[in-house]
Amino acid sequence: MVPVAVKRLLHCMGGALFPAKCVGCGRLFHHNAGTPESINACIKAHATGFAHAMAPHFCPNCRGQWTPVKSPLCFRCGLVFKSREGEDHLCGRCLDRPGAFTRARAAGIYADALQTAIHALKFKGKVGLAGPLGRLLYDTFQQYWLPNEIDMVAPIPLHRRRFRQRGFNQAYLLVKRWTLPSETVIDRDLLVRTRATAPQTGLDRRQRRININNAFLANRPGQSAGKRVLLVDDVLTTGATADACASALIRDGAKRVDVLTLARAL
């Protein structure tokens, strides 16, 4: 078996010798210069941050075009406030209708290179992006949660018809290689999507909530009872889907449900 360090060295050397096609702009680029210093930097930076994680897939210009989520934000749903001044506080939506999940966080804003990467994974079948995006998501998980805060990690499920069309659930691909404490489990089938729903794109908050209402159930009743569950998905927009999933888990007896996504829509 080839050691991991050797694999990373070969990967970085390959990036220096052979150009890659940028997922963003489509141009060919070398993601490192091939010097010993740059190869060492590539190995050291492996799986840290969007720019480093995306080095094999995006050119330097495109991978620099992303915005991480930063305070001030809503400390419940993670909505980033337009004003860059002040402290974290509840947004108007959460004050009016708190919903079922306790806390939601995301790695970055749903725009630019992060949005492009998510679309390439979901709609173009570029599953090679799931690894680096999953590492970015894992870094975000470690930023906001302690390992002993979560008992179960569950991807938000696709309807079986959508799964057949796509061939994979992108949310599960993001978490399948996470290294977690032995008492924390990743359950890809904790929830089931009971009916196909219309795409949420283009719907307002109320329409999204109606569209997704009662679309999820616990797959094995009682599985989440007393558990602290982390729901994982690619994008959080209004939170309607996450809230519907959290409601199903709370009805099943879950102690608490949090949400983690790659991106947060503004």
Domain boundary at 12, 45, 63, which?
Answer: 63
For residue 125, count other CB atoms closer than 10 A to its CB. Answer: 12
Does residue 14 sit within a domain?
yes
- The pLDDT value given to residue 34: 42
- The pLDDT value given to residue 126: 96
Q: Assess whether 10 and 117 both reside in one domain.
A: no
- Type of residue found at 52: H
For residue 181, count other CB atoms closer than 10 A to its CB. Answer: 10
Q: Assess whether 50 and 96 both reside in one domain.
A: no
Q: What angle do CA 75, 109, 181 make, to 5 degrees?
A: 65
CA-to-CA distance for 231 and 171, rounded, in angstroms? 9
CA-to-CA distance for 62 and 29, rounded, in angstroms? 11
CB 101 within 8 A of CB 257: yes
Both tokens of 119, joined, read: 């679309």
| Contacts by residues 47-53 (CB-CB < 8 Å, ≥ 24 positions apart) | 47/132, 47/135, 47/139, 48/135, 48/139, 49/136, 49/139, 50/107, 50/108, 50/113, 50/114, 50/136, 53/132, 53/133, 53/135, 53/136
Q: Assess whether 119 and 42 both reside in one domain.
A: no
User: Where residue 256 sits, what CATH number does that domain have?
Assistant: 3.40.50
- The pLDDT value given to residue 9: 53
CB 127 within 8 A of CB 139: no
Does residue 87 sit within a domain?
no
Does residue 80 sit within a domain?
no
- The pLDDT value given to residue 36: 44
Does residue 79 sit within a domain?
no
Residues of the chain below pLDDT 50: 33-48
Does residue 217 sit within a domain?
yes
Domain boundary at 43, 63, 83, which?
Answer: 63
CA-to-CA distance for 224 and 3, rounded, in angstroms? 38
Q: Assess whether 29 and 105 both reside in one domain.
A: no
Domain boundary at 45, 63, 81, which?
Answer: 63
- The pLDDT value given to residue 4: 54
Query: Comparing C-alpha atoms, which of 243, 234, 246, 230 is closest to residue 149?
Result: 230
**H runs (alpha helix) in 100-202:** 112-124, 130-144, 160-166, 170-175
Residue 91 phi/psi, 5-degree rounding, is: -80, 170
Q: Is 118 helix (H, G, I), strand (E, B) or coil?
A: helix
Q: Assess whether 24 and 155 both reside in one domain.
A: no
Does residue 49 sit within a domain?
yes
Does residue 98 sit within a domain?
yes
Does residue 55 sit within a domain?
yes
Query: Structure pTM?
Result: 0.86
List the domain range (segments joined by +) for residue 37: 4-63
- The pLDDT value given to residue 53: 86
Strand pairing class (152-155; 103-109) = unpaired
**Total count of domains within the chain:** 2
CA-to-CA distance for 227 and 218, rounded, in angstroms? 13
CB 50 within 8 A of CB 137: no
